[in-house]
Structure 1
Amino acid sequence: MRRGGDMTQPILSLRGLTTAFKTEDGWKEVIRDITFDVQPGETVAIVGESGSGKSVTSLSIMGLLDSRARVSGQVLLDGRDLLALSEAEMRSVRGNEIAMIFQEPMTSLNPVFTVGRQIAELLIRHGKVARDQVRAEVLRLMDRVRIPNAAARMEEYPHQFSGGMRQRVMIAMALAARPRLLIADEPTTALDVTIQGQILDLIKEIQEEQGMAVLFITHDMGVVAEIADRTVVMYRGDHVETGATADLFTDARHPYTRALLAAVPRLGQMRGQDWPLRFPSVDMDSGVITPQPAVVDSVDRSATPVLSVKNLVTRFGSGSDLLGRPTGKVHAVEDVSFDLWQGETLSLVGESGCGKSTTGRSILRLVQPEAGEVRLDGFDVLTASGGDLRRMRRSGQMIFQDPFSSLNPRMTVGQTVIEPIVTHKLADRAGARVKAAELLRQVGLDGSMMDRYPHEFSGGQRQRIAIARVLGLNPKVIVADESVSALDVSIKAQVCNLLMGLQERLKIAYLFISHDMAVVERVSHRVAVMYLGEIVEIGPREAIFADPQHPYTRRLIEAVPIPDPARRGLRRGGEIDELKSPVRPLGFQPPQRQWREVSDRHFVMAS
């Protein structure tokens, strides 16, 4: 936030910053003529989709690009041009005057050293405290970023921390030398919504205490609205618009800024809407916004559910004694029951570790449940074997979060889509190729792309390929496991519209697993909220979002960043803790749960 006093001298000024990378075809500019200032105590956000140049801008400022990069222009820190400094001089700037937090802390922390030692190393290197005071300062920093039980946890290793706690360690390290400027590069993107809110609150709080300037890089317009004084919009390497955040949200001038804002799903937009609503079609180049119709509802709940799950339990061994026997069990899925009808979308929501993905995998028997009953399109999933299991897997398919890791890089797109059709003997190879071309057209790709490989496609296109492969088996149920979480906002909207259109036409049922509450509100008929392996609330989408009953459901919804600059300065004041462990000792018997029906088909677990 801005402080009083002289604001005429920026702490950071970029003047014509241009970065190019050396390729086989010569030098290719990836950011061009970037110019803006960051004042003392101010938060400036750089926004844009993947490939816009946000992260390259931050790495250029820090001098962290390798020899293949050529950086020109000026990066002025208090009037001193960082591009003119030697590497030795830049090492004294990094950490002391400018600190940086990266998106994925696990790749930034050394796995072989304790977190306490890594924070201490920074303090010693920058000479901020005497050696006999280092431990006390490490504890102060860990307490400052509100890591519970810091005295014990400083002796633990990064893998023993959750994602949110690892990000707190990174913030502690960034603050060690009390820098004047903090660059935060997508620091909350990989975090659950509740943890994201805590980290945003923490950064704002520390910024106010220390008068620190923040350059915040993100693609999340909700985060921008809550944290930024001013916003810089980047598009394909160009700086296309800058302004006060409130002005940009109410009176954006550039077509891309308007398109970016229009593509963002906003919690509460679905109030009063009975059925899922397609995202508006947004042309990111022209900014033209075309509203799309709601999904035509055809769910017949008087029919037999296409998927019925009763008292599903999935547990995994944990720990081991001297003989290698497990000492406990992870209660990943505990007594989960629900039905899913043809043409319906049921969303499973909750934080990482709550059991969402394990539930989806258990239903398709990609992991082996311990107990319960699953009936999918007439098949008893948990007892099926041989031919029945193969036929069952035609009825139930899964779309994974990362299409690049689920597509074989050595197979062409055509081969990828053809393979399951031939394996399940739905057509011969020639017929399968014709069908594959048609499937690619159904998901908005050209059949002529069949001979290309996955690396030749964008993330959104790869997800369309994964959907085409699944559709080849004519499934009745698709488990979509965080299938749009890694996509840019405009691509996310396109893929969600594609899924809803396919559902309307083919009557597919979706189990939509996600932590993105705004997307869930848009695409769902019903929502089930999971916590520590259990469903704690389930009901129609409108009931869950308009009248949440369980404290955890309310906490999830309240933590969602909303793209409204009026919320800037908001403090959630939520409890700072990690999701409790689902590990239980051997022989542990979970308590019998009681359910209360709040309204029609809206159930909540009694506390």
Structure 2
Amino acid sequence: MAAKILQIENLVTTFDTAEGGFNAVDGVSLYIEEGETLAVVGESGSGKSVTALSIMRLTPPNSSKIEGAIWFEGKNLLTLPDDEIRQIRGNKIAMIFQEPMTSLNPVYSIGSQIGEALITHRGLSHSEAKAETIRLLEKVRIPTAKSRIRDYPHNFSGGMRQRVMIAMALACNPKILIADEPTTALDVTIQAQILDLIKSLQKEEGMSVLFITHDMGVVAEIADRTVVMYNGEAVETGATADIFAHPKHPYTRALLAAVPRLGSMEGRKRPMRFPVVNRVTGECDVPVEVPDTVKITQRPLLEVKGLTKRFDMRSGILSPVKGRVHAVENVSFNVNVGETLALVGESGCGKSTTGRAVLRLSDPDSGTLALNGVDLMKLNKAELRNARRQMQMIFQDPFASLNPRLSIGAAVAEPLLANKLATRSQAREKVADLLRQVGLQPEMAERFPHEFSGGQRQRICIARALSLEPGLIVADEAVSALDVSVKAQVVNLMLDLQARMGLGYLFISHDMGVVERVSHRVAVMYLGEIVEIGSREAIFQNPQHPYTKRLLAAVPVADPTRRPERRAALNGEIKSPVRSPDYVPPVRQFRQVSPGHSVMVSYDELMPN
């Protein structure tokens, strides 16, 4: 048995609130052995991130109190003076945070930020720090590291920024690496690269890893042991394989039941609800296919042909165009009444731009858009405003979508009043009905956005989108930021509303597990182009395009017994969509694999390096 490198005993972290002290972590005890990966899992508010911040003593000193003991190298970290804990923090115990863009200083180059840790903790000279920074960046697989040390955080993609954070964390050869949701905001292929990188570096350096996440697929992929947290307490601890095979606590069973598993829809024709688990008893309902109370018609609700959107790049306002971002290039698809078409791909592939262009929130450069046979491109401002009653959008971040100064009742009623479709008293009645439809209480209408959880806020945004009784809803990463069980509830709600009201969804996502569950058809986007489109069954059971296969191969499998199976190499970076001003896109050729299933055949120059 390996020695324990970190041991936490009865940790209690209390925050001061207006109502008194709140125990965010309540009596947690755990340990990490040398060279092992311990996963701490749970949903938002479970106390897992506060546990990590308590280890690093990064909670606000004036409004929080940490009690218990955290033993490292024979010392209790909670009793050390500030100057001594600073020598441990970032040196012997390093941390990677969830959002690298907020963790990196935007006004300093990444080379100077990594070099600062090397100079401070290891006493290197500037020239030595520069050489070591280049070595670290090469170690985390950043190409042309020597030239990139002068770049700033905004010059890097999300995956590359996370690699920079890992390089910074490894700068002082830490004995423990705390990774707090390091892959949650990343696309599946970038997530796969980061997980593979952490595992490789752990093996090379022999360090221990405390991995914090709510994604059980990631846990199965990387953790030796797992601690499940709920309401500030550690409710279950054990070997990862044992917890997945024989979960004992109801909450653990709830987390595992909410994980979408690729292949679970094989042989099913219609979308399927997620199972709902009682967190108290652990009882799980039987997931059922969504009833076809509204038959999918083959009448196109939305017709998109040759949609193109490019963004000019200039060095100054009056400067000539030096290049163009080809965000969406000659995209065509239909969405039928009562149907969900999923638009999938990684960040930067053009999914969200396509969704915004469909609603003419961003006017396309060319192409045609027709809603119920009406050409949206020919409408003037007043006509477009009327047409938008039939198409609404649900955004990824519900908090940013809601006005913090408006009660949620006012926010849901606003479209009705703005379009003069109801009086104020009629709007109040309509709001109460809409809140009931999305599983909220009518009396909640007087509350403000900050008084709701993330899942509840997303339900409010869905209620607002339904207020005008649209036929089409564009859901732009509408469930990506939600915890697994909340995600299951919101997806089930969307499926039920579709079955009852015949809604057509353009479901934009990079979460292939959810896409398989909710979609009727799938379109795969890469570098602004649709490279494969077909039925959900065709795309998931018989993918043809290399990029589609790459996306599916990157999805973490929630089964620790399959960990030895190495996934396909996914280290290639997505190519840039920036082209010269005189660039003429090639004419693409498509091959029909089966009825309704087409794949691009001229794609060599598109694929990652």
1:534 matches 2:532: no
Q: Which residues in structure 2 correspond to 1:110-129 (within 5 Å)?
A: 110-127=105-122, 129=124
- Amino acid paired to 2:59: L
Q: Which residues in structure 2 correspond to 1:416-565 (within 5 Å)?
A: 416-565=411-560
What's the counterpart of residue 3 of structure 1?
none
Q: CA RMSD in A?
A: 1.4
**Equivalent position SS for 1:183:** strand
Offset at residue 551 of structure 1 (A):
0.2
Match of 2:571 among 565, 569, 576: 576
Q: Which residues in structure 2 correspond to 1:205-284 (within 5 Å)?
A: 205-284=200-279
- Amino acid paired to 1:519: V
1:51 matches 2:45: yes
For the 8 Å contact 2:225–2:237, the answer to whether it is kept is yes
1:170 matches 2:165: yes
Q: CA 1:434–1:553 in 2, change beyond 3 Å: closer, same or farther? A: same
- Amino acid paired to 1:264: V
Offset at residue 483 of structure 1 (A):
0.4
- Amino acid paired to 2:303: S
1:382 matches 2:407: no
Offset at residue 343 of structure 1 (A):
0.1
1:61 matches 2:55: yes
- For structure 1, the residue ranges without an aligned partner over 5 or more in a row are 1-5
d(CA) in 1 for partners of 2:297, 2:457: 37
For the 8 Å contact 1:480–1:511, the answer to whether it is kept is yes
- Amino acid paired to 2:47: G
**Equivalent position SS for 2:122:** coil
1:346 matches 2:302: no
Offset at residue 69 of structure 1 (A):
0.9
For normalisation by structure 1, the TM-score amounts to 0.97
**Equivalent position SS for 1:177:** coil
Offset at residue 461 of structure 1 (A):
0.7
What's the counterpart of residue 144 of structure 1?
139
What's the counterpart of residue 174 of structure 2?
179
What's the counterpart of residue 322 of structure 2?
327
Q: Once the two structures are superposed, what CA deviation does each residue of 1:61-95 show, in whole Å capped at 9, x if it has no partner?
A: 00111121100000001221101101100010012
- For structure 2, the residue ranges without an aligned partner over 5 or more in a row are 603-609
- Amino acid paired to 1:495: V
Q: CA 1:324–1:387 in 2, change beyond 3 Å: closer, same or farther? A: same
For the 8 Å contact 1:321–1:327, the answer to whether it is kept is no
**Equivalent position SS for 1:306:** strand
d(CA) in 2 for partners of 1:260, 1:573: 27
Q: Once the two structures are superposed, what CA deviation does each residue of 1:516-539 show, in whole Å capped at 9, x if it has no partner?
A: 000000000000000000000000
d(CA) in 1 for partners of 2:320, 2:428: 49
What's the counterpart of residue 605 of structure 2?
none
Offset at residue 131 of structure 1 (A):
4.3
d(CA) in 1 for partners of 2:91, 2:399: 38
d(CA) in 2 for partners of 1:563, 1:463: 26
d(CA) in 2 for partners of 1:571, 1:192: 19
**Equivalent position SS for 2:4:** coil
d(CA) in 2 for partners of 1:300, 1:221: 35
What's the counterpart of residue 30 of structure 2?
36
**Equivalent position SS for 1:382:** helix
**Equivalent position SS for 1:134:** helix
For the 8 Å contact 1:310–1:374, the answer to whether it is kept is yes
1:11 matches 2:5: yes
d(CA) in 1 for partners of 2:96, 2:460: 34
Q: Once the two structures are superposed, what CA deviation does each residue of 1:450-485 show, in whole Å capped at 9, x if it has no partner?
A: 111111111111111111111111101000000011
What's the counterpart of residue 284 of structure 2?
289
Indicate the larger mover: 187-196 or 416-425: 416-425
d(CA) in 1 for partners of 2:567, 2:124: 34
Offset at residue 414 of structure 1 (A):
1.3
Q: CA 1:569–1:19 in 2, change beyond 3 Å: closer, same or farther? A: farther
Q: Once the two structures are superposed, what CA deviation does each residue of 1:112-167 show, in whole Å capped at 9, x if it has no partner?
A: 11111111111111125454422221111111001011011111111100010011
Q: Percent identity?
A: 60
What's the counterpart of residue 106 of structure 1?
101
For the 8 Å contact 1:128–1:177, the answer to whether it is kept is no
Offset at residue 320 of structure 1 (A):
2.7
Match of 1:393 among 381, 388, 392: 388
- Amino acid paired to 1:330: V
Q: CA 1:301–1:424 in 2, change beyond 3 Å: closer, same or farther? A: same
Offset at residue 302 of structure 1 (A):
6.2
d(CA) in 2 for partners of 1:479, 1:25: 40
d(CA) in 2 for partners of 1:297, 1:468: 22
d(CA) in 1 for partners of 2:19, 2:216: 35
Q: Once the two structures are superposed, what CA deviation does each residue of 1:177-224 show, in whole Å capped at 9, x if it has no partner?
A: 101110000001111100000000000001011111000000000000
For the 8 Å contact 1:295–1:500, the answer to whether it is kept is yes
Offset at residue 569 of structure 1 (A):
4.6
**Equivalent position SS for 1:194:** helix
For the 8 Å contact 1:114–1:154, the answer to whether it is kept is yes
Indicate the larger mover: 406-415 or 219-228: 406-415
For the 8 Å contact 1:307–1:376, the answer to whether it is kept is yes
Indicate the larger mover: 192-201 or 275-284: 275-284
**Equivalent position SS for 1:11:** strand
1:307 matches 2:302: yes
1:25 matches 2:19: yes
For the 8 Å contact 2:294–2:500, the answer to whether it is kept is no
d(CA) in 2 for partners of 1:20, 1:487: 25
For the 8 Å contact 1:116–1:155, the answer to whether it is kept is yes
**Equivalent position SS for 1:282:** coil
- Amino acid paired to 1:47: V
Offset at residue 300 of structure 1 (A):
6.1
Indicate the larger mover: 76-85 or 525-534: 76-85
Q: CA 1:231–1:191 in 2, change beyond 3 Å: closer, same or farther? A: same
- Amino acid paired to 2:139: R
d(CA) in 2 for partners of 1:157, 1:570: 37
d(CA) in 1 for partners of 2:22, 2:485: 25
For normalisation by structure 2, the TM-score amounts to 0.97
**Equivalent position SS for 1:278:** coil
Q: Once the two structures are superposed, what CA deviation does each residue of 1:399-443 show, in whole Å capped at 9, x if it has no partner?
A: 001111111111111111111112222222211111111111011
Offset at residue 588 of structure 1 (A):
1.3
d(CA) in 2 for partners of 1:325, 1:571: 48
**How many pairs were matched up?**
601
Q: CA 1:386–1:154 in 2, change beyond 3 Å: closer, same or farther? A: closer
d(CA) in 2 for partners of 1:126, 1:409: 43
d(CA) in 1 for partners of 2:421, 2:126: 71
Indicate the larger mover: 303-312 or 126-135: 126-135
d(CA) in 2 for partners of 1:570, 1:38: 25
